[in-house]
Amino acid sequence: METPREIPVYAFIKRELKNQIESGELAEGTRLASEHELARQYNVSRNPTRQAMRDLELGGYIVRSPGRGSFVAPKAQWQKPLRVEGWRTVALACPEFECHYTRSVVRRFNQTAADKGFHTMFYFLRFSHETEFEFLANMRNSGVEGVAFWLQHAAEKTLDLLRKFQKSGYPFVLVDRYVRGFQTDFVVTDNEDIAYQLTKALVRRKHKNIAYITSGLDNTAAEDRFSGYRRALKEAAILFNVDLMGIFGSSGGSPASVVSRIMAYRSRPTAFLCADDGIAANLLDELAELGFDVPGDVQVALVDDNELTEALGIPMISAVQAGDEMGRQSAEILLERIESPQRTVQQRFLKAELRVHAQVSREAAPEERRIQTSAGETA
């Protein structure tokens, strides 16, 4: 069996054995393979297997008997290192804390959990496939009663682990992103509707060449926003033009190269839809460098969770996610799942607030100054 390069070999072997014990694949009293047998199984020397077995013994997962071997210890002996004495504890894990939207989610989640008598442990981490799996695998026996988290990598190995969570009754809620076809609790933004409404707002202003900029299509939030953009174009009888799509980052190119390519197109765009405000900030810099004015030459619409439009004072069309509501609902669903493990799966799509800022009319009719959407009215 090959071991991943992201973590030490002994840690990988320890994690594999620990997961088998916690999932019940290795029942209490089961005899484990010897250090020599494990070394042969993982194609390593005995040093990593010896360290892994020592750590499992220190954690109370196994007992070792000279001359007889190593055996799975009773569950009552397993360590629960993260429990906070006197409190029931849940966890919330997200990639970052700098974003205004994320802070809103975190703040309201914490408040809601505290109101119900729960302490929240926060983790702000960007995971690789392996480290995300390892983090979630460690949650179940940590003393934390349930976890809400941004799923950063929908790897099949991680999804299998989450299915085991469901089977064993360990509560979790997906936040911000979901997995198609996976019947589990989640609270996410209706991202398809966000991009649909923003694109429609641009179409109302007589735009036909609307470019789309994203940082990738590697999660449901990104995929759904792209789908909403395509749906609005189709309804307006505007053909999707791949030449007016750009991807910032390693898979697409630098902001400068992407924007230059799109603006050099023979039918250059008169408007851009940006998947998020970080992309919009880069776009504005590149448009200014090329000598284009916003909104005079090009109008911009964006998902704006960091109040970029207010900070820059540039008239743009924006949508803002309901961070407070996402934090409240994800906490409530998690706590309800803890109290009632067999309850019906809850899957929530939250509407965003669409805002049209001053001087973004571009031939819009007077009645279009206020756009009614399923999310509410503009300011």
Q: Which of 44-53, 249-258, 265-274, 360-369 has the highest mean pLDDT?
A: 265-274
Residue with tokens 């934090």: 327
Establish if 345 belongs to a structural domain. Answer: yes
Any domain includes 22? yes
Q: What is the CATH number of the domain that holds 212?
A: 3.40.50.2300
pLDDT-based confidence at residue 114 (cuts at 50, 70, 90): very high
**Do 370 and 236 share a structural domain?**
yes
Tell me how far CA of residue 274 lies from CA of 223, 225, 279, 297, in angstroms: 13, 10, 6, 16
- Give 251's pLDDT tier (boundaries 50, 70, 90): low
Q: Is the dihedral of CA 308, 311, 312, 317 positive or negative?
A: positive
What is the domain extent for residue 34?
9-77
Up-side HSE of residue 344: CA atoms within 13 Å toward CB? 3
Kindly report, residue by residue over 116-131, the tens digit of the pLDDT: 999 999 988 888 888 8
Same domain, 175 and 218: no
273 has a pLDDT exceeding 60 = yes
Same domain for 308 and 244: yes
Instruction: Give the Cα separation of 32 and 73 in Å (integer).
Output: 11
Shared domain for 116 and 14, answered yes or no, is no
Instruction: Give the CATH number for residue 53.
Output: 1.10.10.10
Domain-embedded: residue 269: yes
Q: Are 299 and 207 in contact (CB under 8 A)?
A: yes
Beta bridge partners of 94: 124
Of 9-23, 63-77, 82-96, 341-355, the least confident: 82-96
What was the pLDDT predicted at 207? 96
Secondary structure (3-state) at 138? helix
Residue pair 185/147 in contact (Cβ under 8 Å)? The answer is no
pLDDT at 373: 35
18 & 96 share domain: no
Query: What are the tens digits of pLDDT across the range 357-372?
Result: 756 555 544 434 333 3
Query: Which residues on neighbouring strands pair with residue 120, listed in sequence order?
Result: 90
Residue 316 has pLDDT above 70, yes or no: yes
DSSP state of 191: H
The pLDDT of residue 260 is above 60:
yes
67: left (phi over 0), alpha (psi -120 to 50) or beta: left
Domain-embedded: residue 82: no
For the four alpha carbons of 261, 263, 268 and 273, in that order, the dihedral sign comes to positive
DSSP states of 78-111: S--TTPPTTSEEEEEEES-S-SHHHHHHHHHHHH
Give Cα 357 distance to the centre of its chain: 29
pTM (two decimals): 0.75
Query: Are 94 and 31 within one domain?
Result: no
**In the predicted structure, residue 379 carries a pLDDT above the cut 50:** no
For residues 222 and 341, state if they share a domain: no
State the average pLDDT over residues 169-190.
96
204 band by pLDDT with thresholds 50, 70 and 90: very high
Distance separating alpha carbons of residues 172 and 124, to the nearest angstrom: 17
> Within a domain: residue 1?
no
> Helix 323-339 crosses helix 100-115 at what angle (to 10 degrees)?
40
Q: 185 and 195 in one domain?
A: no
Asked whether residue 226 is domain-assigned, the answer is: yes
Same domain, 65 and 95: no
What is the tally of structural domains in the chain?
3
Rounded to an integer, the average pLDDT of 215-220 is 89
Cβ-based burial of 188 (10 A; exposed 0-12, middle 13-18, buried ≥19) = buried
